Amino acid sequence: MMQANDVFKRYSRQIFIEEIGVEGQRDIGNAKVLVVGAGGLGSPVIQYLAAAGVGTLAVVDFDDVEIHNLNRQVIHRESTVGQPKTESAADFIRDFNSHITFIPICQKIDRENVQDLIRDYDIVVDGSDNFTTRYIVNDACVVLNKPLVYGSIFAFEGQVTVFNFRGSKNLRDLFPEAPNPEDVPNCDRHGVLGPLPGIVGTMMAMQVLKMITGLPIVINQLTIVDTLNWKFMTITF
């Protein structure tokens, strides 16, 4: 276990921030965050929340690591190809920050288990790659009154927002119904440039840390990141 002085050394550069301080770092260490998906978005979220010292960090995913994941899913390695992504993520955490509690959940989220999976966590981060899961997670967060950090990516473009935070709107207020999966482009068919999920996932991690430490969160606003034309736009909903 890290001693108090070691904790300060490790997290000193964020403790030095006036708006964080020792109390903020204590809040980070006491926080419980669930990340849905250990893929392109989940990887940078897991990296930066672990780096910040989030005390209890869980990830739920049922896929295995494949070689084509490695252009963007940066917590996985050639040596973990074929392993469950949750197991690969746990290996990463053991080497990166062994002093936090990491809970790998190798399971597919569905309407029957979603509330049990998210119930014990303060914040849920949706890094999933399909609308079925997004709506299942969103609806459970509404029922259980859990704040949800949402992100999505495609090719050169990403989206980030916060749902269900202190009375704010949720996914169905922005998109009332899930689109037909056949009508939605996805990375498997159309690709994605590796750094894009890094950008969007890091933005999601920042929102989580701001929530934990009580920093201002803009609600009911979708940020669109267009990396091809290098534009950042916001839409109020």
Active-site residues, by number, are 187
Q: From residue 121, give the alpha-carbon distance in Å to each of 33, 108, 139, 207, 209.
A: 5, 17, 15, 16, 14
Beta strands (DSSP E) in the chain are: 32-36, 56-61, 101-106, 123-126, 148-154, 157-163, 221-226, 231-236
CA nearest to 48, candidates 170, 206, 191, 220? 206
